[in-house]
Structure 1
Amino acid sequence: MSRLSPVNQARWARFRHNRRGYWSLWIFLVLFGLSLCSELIANDKPLLVRYDGSWYFPLLKNYSESDFGGPLASKADYQDPWLKERLENNGWVLWAPIRFGATSINFATDKPFPSPPSRQNWLGTDANGGDVLARILYGTRISVLFGLMLTLCSSAMGVLAGALQGYYGGKVDLWGQRFIEVWSGMPTLFLIILLSSVVQPNFWWLLAITVLFGWMSLVGVVRAEFLRTRNFDYIRAAQALGVSDRSIILRHMLPNAMVTTLTFFTVYFM
């Protein structure tokens, strides 16, 4: 028995009849699923090593050359011909289908960069010698996850701010609007450049900065919906019965406001 309500079942059936959208969704999910397994598909480290009767998992743990009989305690370079030969002579190695990671460079090729597709590099290499297919896999994962997290965080902040302004109105709405006007007037690009020069930029810092200056677009839509619905009879009846503001906002007003708000989620994601 389906857990979907009759309304959602009808919506899903209508979506399935849109063959282009339906199959596009499946293609996107498959590609995104493959990108989540990038380390298992494209990696310059072995997935599993059997050496001198012991098991090693380079994918999960960093080993040194001394662990494989080398003279140095430095990090093992599995692309080193000496280490490759030693591992093959004293055991066996399970590699990923693509033996290059996101930052790997193919120094073994005899063709100049960028090089055409080959047995080693299925889609060739870029101008820096990186494997194109490996970088596509890792880049897809980062791009999709960044877009999803940015959409969820920005939407949550925008819905919260718009809901509070629209429901309470008065000074809350007035001060909220003035704050948004001032905050939206900030030179975002220069602030990002300034923060990047102070803090080492990474995925989480870039996400936080983007969310910090990108949550205001949804406030106006949610605020307008709450201003429209807060004077409806069922809202006044709930207030007269002593229902808490939190319950009114979350259980009665927000579902109605989300009908319009959901259309803006794709814009955030893109």
Structure 2
Amino acid sequence: MDASLPGVAPVPAERAPRRRLSPINQRRLANFRRNRRGWWSLWLFLVLFIGSLFADFIANDKPFLVKYEGGYYLPVLKAYPETTFGGDFETEADYRDPYLRKLIAEKGGWMLWPPIRYSYDTHNLDLPTPAPSPPTWMLTAEQCRPVAEKNGFTGAGNPCDALEWNWLGTDDQGRDVLARLIYGFRISVLFGLTLSLISSTIGVTAGAVQGYFGGWTDLLFQRFIEIWTAIPSLYLLLIISSVLVPGFWVLLGILLLFEWVALVGLVRAEFLRARNFEYVQAARALGVSNGVIMWRHLLPNAMVATLTMLPFIVSSSVMTLTALDFLGFGLPPGSPSLGELLAQGKANVQAPWLGLTGFFTVALMLSLLIFIGEAVRDAFDPRKTFT
């Protein structure tokens, strides 16, 4: 029947069926959400991590936006020479320089700054006290007044309000602690996630090959892993780190030498258990290749153990990087690092805000990852059947 004829209602087009989670995945999601501590830890960790990805827009010594002579500039995204704003040099503009600020203001311009006007490597040269300087809210008016008057403060209010605040103080080089925490959190989590994903991929592959083929493959591989894990990894890491030029990818490659074995035993056990199941034997009889059987039919079973262990592997990777930085064998000097902040706290006991800030940040990060790992473990526990 023609739906376009008068008096005939049009036939609604069939909608594509909405994809829903399978019953087992619905149960896992319900189990994960029931663990309230892990559920809210996941959201808090995501907020902190996603926020740290935009660290350049939260803590920076360059403004978001500059208006000058009718034009608009984005210093956070692009470097401009000082001559762009009427200066004398071709070097990159220093927007904290009072001379450059005056040049921009004389042309009716203005600057829109991030919430924290320091980057992780910005040295504050106008500290009220010698570095490491305490948080600004801990300073007295007498300590703030000389610096405030130097910057043009003449009012009768609190001179500390005229300063660019260091909310968590500065380290022993006059760098803002809060800015270094934000950048350090970002690099620590990115390092931990990258190391965990690469090492897990290698470990799952090695465990799958070892468990599926068994026999001499399993025997030789197992003896190699036993010998390899018997090596004192920390001492070897310190030796290699002291010889090679430190860096993000260099450290990643060094730690991969040992991190990949974390999942081999779990995946190997799953493949050894499932390699003689009836559906695997039927697939072999039908001529299905070993690769298809391993990755399409057996690997999903092994991924349960992998996903359960992944948050704990991430926390271990972050802690390893922090320990190397604390000992001075981690990231290059000057890099924003939680371990380096802890080392400064140890070296400057008269500045407790350094050690306490680093300690609580590391403790919060690891606690969130552990709580998430516990919730993932509950989600994949077949004994939990509540929904």
Q: TM-score, normalised by structure 1?
A: 0.91
Partner residue of 1:44 out of 61, 65, 84: 61
The equivalent of 2:120 in structure 1 is 102
Give runs of aligned pairs for residues 221-236 of structure 1, distance below 5 A: 221-236=266-281
Aligned-pair CA distance for 1:99: 0.2
- Following TM superposition, the consecutive aligned residue runs of length 4 or more in structure 1 with deviations greater than 6 angstroms are none
Partner in structure 1 of residue 172 of structure 2:
127
Q: Is the 8 A contact 2:210 2:218 kept in 1?
A: yes
Distance 1:35 1:148 in 2: 14
Give the alignment of 1:1-270 within 5 angstroms. 3-90=20-107, 91-112=109-130, 113-118=132-137, 120-186=165-231, 188-270=233-315
Q: Distance in 1 between matches of 2:104 and 2:239?
A: 48
User: Structure 1 residue 195: deviation in Å?
Assistant: 4.1
Structure 1: segments with no counterpart, 5+ residues: none
Q: Which is greater in Rg?
A: 2
Once the two structures are superposed, what CA deviation does each residue of 1:175-232 show, in whole Å capped at 9, x if it has no partner? 3223323433445445444544454311121112111221112111211211121111
Code of the residue aligned with 1:115 in structure 2: it is: P
Distance 2:212 2:185 in 1: 40
Deviates more, 1:138-147 or 1:19-28: 19-28
Question: What's the offset of the Cα at 1:247?
Answer: 1.0
The AA in structure 1 aligned to 2:117 is R
The aligned length equals 270
Q: Which moved more, 1:19-28 or 1:179-188?
A: 179-188
- State the distance in 2 between where 1:126 and 1:13 align: 45
Q: What is the alpha-carbon distance in structure 2 between the residues aligned to residue 28 and residue 122 of structure 1? A: 22
- Indicate the SS of the match to 2:136: coil
How many angstroms does 1:126 deviate by?
A: 2.6
1:242 counterpart letter in structure 2: G
1: distance between equivalents of 2:198 and 2:126?
44
SS at match of 1:167: helix
Contact 1:117-1:125 within 8 A present in 2 as well: no
Identity of matched residues, %: 56
RMSD over equivalenced CA pairs, Å: 2.0
Opposite residue 136 of structure 2, the aligned amino acid is: P
Q: Is the 8 A contact 1:44 1:101 kept in 2?
A: yes
The secondary structure found in structure 2 opposite 1:55 is strand
Local SS of the residue matching 2:110? strand
SS at match of 2:125: coil
Q: Is the 8 A contact 2:127 2:133 kept in 1?
A: no
Distance 1:246 1:10, change over 3 A: same
Q: Deviations over 1:31-84 (max 9, x none)?
A: 112111111111011112122233222112222222222222222222211112
Which ranges of structure 2 fall in alignment gaps of 5 or more residues?
1-17, 138-163, 316-387
Q: Describe the SS at the equivalent of 1:93.
A: strand
1:19–1:263 distance in 2 versus 1, CA, 3 Å: closer
CA contact (8 A) 1:151 1:265 kept: yes
TM-score (norm 2): 0.65
Which structure carries more relative contact order (alpha carbon 8 Å, separation 6+)?
2
